[in-house]
């Protein structure tokens, strides 16, 4: 039996400081979606050909193509995951991690700027414009050094859709307001990781295993400052490919082949 090759993908955890703790942006996928329909996830999706385009990658700052591939332990193509992470976050959540022509983080506080980017997002999601075209028109650059790589998960063998997903975390840009796209995603919420986990345990929301593990990872931090400070201690990011097994009662169970204590910051430095 042939095994479906997983498609490269990126997922972005956008975090901010809430009144009592760190909060993360989560989106509910459309109930009609073929992939985890109805589940709460982080913004993300497949890496597109355009994410690897030289003219797009020329707009990325803070990390070279060689550095990106080395960090992801790839021979080439690593920078495309960073571009995908930023693009998908804009498409699905309306949050764009970018620097404007003045070098400052992009803000939508000016109503005219906000209006333009609402139109850009609509055109991007409709396939009428590329992400690169938008960035070039607005003189944007993508600050890869502000988008931190924290996880690597591969869908178990068996499902009709499989992804080789890199997880990233970044701070919510000031002056921007998240909003679901009402296409692939139908609801959004800012939530403390421990609250999201509690809602899942109570059966109030549905989540998949990688989402749960990354919420447990975020749960360790009280503030975004603590989280960012820990990035230098993250160490090598392990590749995790769960297995689906059938227990003695005939129920399918997801088994993760790694100790939870080995997932997250460790006392070793990786290439910046």
The model's pLDDT over 61-120, given as tens digits with 9 standing for 90+, comes to: 999 999 999 999 999 999 999 999 999 999 999 999 999 999 999 999 999 999 999 999
Which pLDDT score, from 0 to 100, does residue 4 have? 77
Q: How far is CA 5 from CA 36, 126, 162, 219, in A?
A: 18, 27, 7, 32
Which pLDDT score, from 0 to 100, does residue 261 have? 65
- SS3 of residue 44 by DSSP: strand
> Residue length, the chain?
272
Which pLDDT score, from 0 to 100, does residue 242 have? 81
Which pLDDT score, from 0 to 100, does residue 1 have? 43
Give φ, ψ of 257 to 5 degrees.
-85, 50
The Cα–Cα gap between 17 and 20 comes to 8
Q: Topology of domain 7-262, per CATH?
A: Nucleoside Triphosphate Pyrophosphohydrolase (3.90.79)
Maximal C-alpha separation, the chain: 61
Which pLDDT score, from 0 to 100, does residue 162 have? 86
Which pLDDT score, from 0 to 100, does residue 223 have? 96
pLDDT less than 50: residues of the chain: 1-2, 266-272
Please state whether the predicted TM-score (pTM) of the whole model is above 0.85: yes
Which pLDDT score, from 0 to 100, does residue 268 have? 33
Closest-CA residue to 61 (of 102, 94, 96, 103): 103
């Amino acid at each position: 039996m042939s095994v479906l090759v997983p498609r490269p993908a990126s997922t972005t955890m956008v975090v901010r400081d809430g009144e009592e703790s760190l909060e993360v942006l989560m989106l509910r996928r459309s109930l009609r979606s073929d992939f985890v329909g109805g589940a709460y996830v982080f913004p993300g999706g497949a890496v597109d050909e355009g994410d690897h385009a030289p003219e797009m990658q020329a707009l990325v700052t803070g990390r070279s193509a060689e550095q990106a591939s080395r960090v992801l332990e790839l021979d080439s193509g690593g920078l495309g995951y960073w571009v995908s992470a930023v693009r998908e976050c804009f498409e699905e959540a309306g949050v764009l991690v970018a620097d404007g022509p003045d070098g400052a983080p992009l803000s939508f506080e000016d109503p005219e700027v906000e209006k333009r980017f609402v139109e850009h997002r609509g055109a991007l999601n409709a396939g009428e414009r590329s992400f690169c075209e938008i960035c070039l028109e607005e003189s944007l650059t993508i600050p890869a050094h502000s988008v931190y790589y924290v996880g690597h998960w591969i869908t178990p063998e068996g499902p009709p859709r499989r992804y080789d997903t890199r997880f990233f975390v970044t701070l919510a840009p000031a002056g921007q307001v998240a909003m679901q796209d009402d296409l692939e995603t139908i609801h959004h919420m800012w939530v403390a990781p421990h609250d999201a986990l509690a809602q899942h345990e109570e059966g109030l929301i549905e989540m998949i295993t990688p989402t749960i593990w990354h919420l447990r990872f975020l749960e360790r931090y009280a503030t975004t400052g603590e989280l960012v400070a820990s990035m230098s201690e993250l160490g090598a990011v392990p590749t995790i490919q769960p297995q689906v097994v059938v227990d003695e009662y005939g129920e399918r169970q997801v088994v993760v082949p790694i100790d939870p204590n080995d997932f997250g910051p460790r006392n070793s430095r990786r290439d910046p």
